[in-house]
Amino acid sequence: MAIVTESFLPRTDGVVRTLLELLRYLRLHNHEALVLAAGPGPTEHEGYPVARFGGLPFPPYPDLTISLFGTGMARLLRAWAPDVLHLASPFALGMRGCRAGRLLGVPVAAHYMTDVPRYARYFGLGACVGLARWHVTRLHNACQITYAPTESTRRELLAQGIAPVRVLGRGVDTALFTPVRRSDAVRRILLRADEDLLILYVGRLSTEKNLGYLGPLIAQIPRARLVLVGDGPHRAALESRFRALPVSFLGQRHGADLAALYASADLFAFPSLTETFGQVVQEAMASGLPVLAFRAGGVQDLLRDGQEGYLCTPEDYRDWYASARRLAANSVLRARLGERARAAVAGRTWEAIFARLLDDYAELARLQEPRDTATLAMLPDVYRR
């Protein structure tokens, strides 16, 4: 399998975390892999080579490289001869990967993991939304198959004109993320003497995550502290905005350290409206936390309103804050929803998800024709070089 990705280590986001799990699965099952990634970083992971392609930093995310040309990609793929080409959240480098795969007669599967057009609005690029959506639609339709992480996202893609689309969810490590990692020592470190409720957010600290909703939330709940885990371009602005509130910024955490933070919290608050999935929501659920989120994007497919948490009406302040107060005031309710949350994700394993994906890929490789000149004709001239 050759994997083309716009985002990879040392960057940390949902795309990267999913790819790391995929590479681990491929190694454990004795598959060969090659990663082709935009921007600088390590040139090996899990024993697999990582080829790097230069480009320009994306201003809102300086650690994200936009690689438009992918010089030498086709030659590299021709020499390596993959059975299938896996495009992770394709946009710029992914288009080059699609073109190279079709030229070489390799089946191409695109994984829709980032809603780029919607992000454009948050970055002040509203005029580019239509162009971005046209580009994404054209790119995905040039691939044999698109995978969406949830049924809601699948329906959105079909309505946008992308087809065929299959749903492929994501797993969660329930051995790592578990309520048994709850730690009184962690709570003593994070909570002040007059505080007894710990509200957690995990994710990037960036404009599109809608984090402004968290400040008024914590201001309305007595004896509570909000802990934000993650980093990003909006961190300094949030630290300034929340300075007078009981809010702690911990930066990025990983592995057992992150798992202990999840398990030691009382409530997971996730205000994003732009997620195609929401992996951190699954991790919180596996850790036994009730989730407070909005009924938007892929998150709405991960939990049931009133069963594992609350799904609030998008951008409805009253619903969001009322649900937060209800959870904060009732420890019995939090415990009941948290138990259901843990049970809901018990069967969502990476092993099962990737086994199904590899079965699909074997079928794609079996049915692939040598070349698809009709699809190649759809691609703009700039991608034919």
CB atoms inside a 10 Å sphere around CB 87:
30
Query: What are the beta bridge partners of residue 111?
Result: 88, 147
Confidence (pLDDT) at 369: 63
Distance separating the N- and C-terminal Cα atoms of the chain: 23
* Contact status, residue 300 vs residue 151, Cβ threshold 8 Å: no
Q: What is the DSSP string of 281-329?
A: HHHHHHTT--EEEES-GGGGGTS-BTTTEEEEPTT-HHHHHHHHHHHHH
| pLDDT at residue 375, rounded to an integer | 46
At residue 115, φ and ψ (nearest 5 deg) are: -85, 80
Q: Which two tokens stand for residue 111?
A: 């994984």
User: Which residues are registered as beta bridge partners of 267?
Assistant: 199
Q: What whole-number distance in Å separates Cα of residue 302 and Cα of residue 299?
A: 5
Is there a contact between 286 and 172 (Cβ–Cβ < 8 Å)?
Answer: yes
- Residue 324: CA atoms inside 13 Å, Cβ hemisphere, count? 29
Question: Can you say whether residue 210 is alpha, beta or left, with left for phi > 0 and alpha for psi between -120 and 50 degrees?
Answer: left
Task: Round to whole Å and give the CA distance between 56 and 273.
Answer: 28
Q: What is the pLDDT of residue 383?
A: 37
Calpha distance 38→93 (Å, rounded): 7
As a 3-state breakdown, the chain gives helix, strand, coil percent values, each rounded to 5, of 45, 20, 35
Characterize the bridge pairing of strands 48-53 and 44-45: antiparallel
The predicted pLDDT at position 119 comes to 66
pTM over 0.85: yes
Place of tokens 């939304």: 129
* Residue ranges of domains in the chain, CATH in brackets: 2-171+350-384 (3.40.50.2000), 179-344 (3.40.50.2000)
Residue linked to tokens 């809603």: 115
* Per-residue confidence (pLDDT) for residue 263, from 0 to 100: 98
Average pLDDT per block of 10 residues along the chain, 385 residues long: 97 93 98 97 98 89 85 93 97 95 95 81 68 94 97 95 97 97 98 97 94 96 97 96 98 97 98 95 98 96 98 92 97 98 95 97 85 47 38
Give residues with Cβ within 8 angstroms of 332, minimum separation 6: none
164 cis-preceded (ω within 30 degrees of 0): yes
Burial class (CB in 10 A: 0-12, 13-18, 19+), 125: middle
Q: Taking every pair of C-alpha atoms in the chain, what is the biggest distance, in angstroms?
A: 68
**What is the strand order of the sheet 291-294 is part of?**
247-251, 224-229, 197-202, 267-270, 291-294, 309-312
Q: Are 332 and 183 in contact (CB under 8 A)?
A: no
For the record, the structure tokens of 231 come out as 């980093």
CA distance 133 to 193: 50
∠ CA 227-314-353, rounded to 5°: 70
Q: What is the pLDDT of residue 345?
A: 97
Q: What is the pLDDT of residue 382?
A: 37
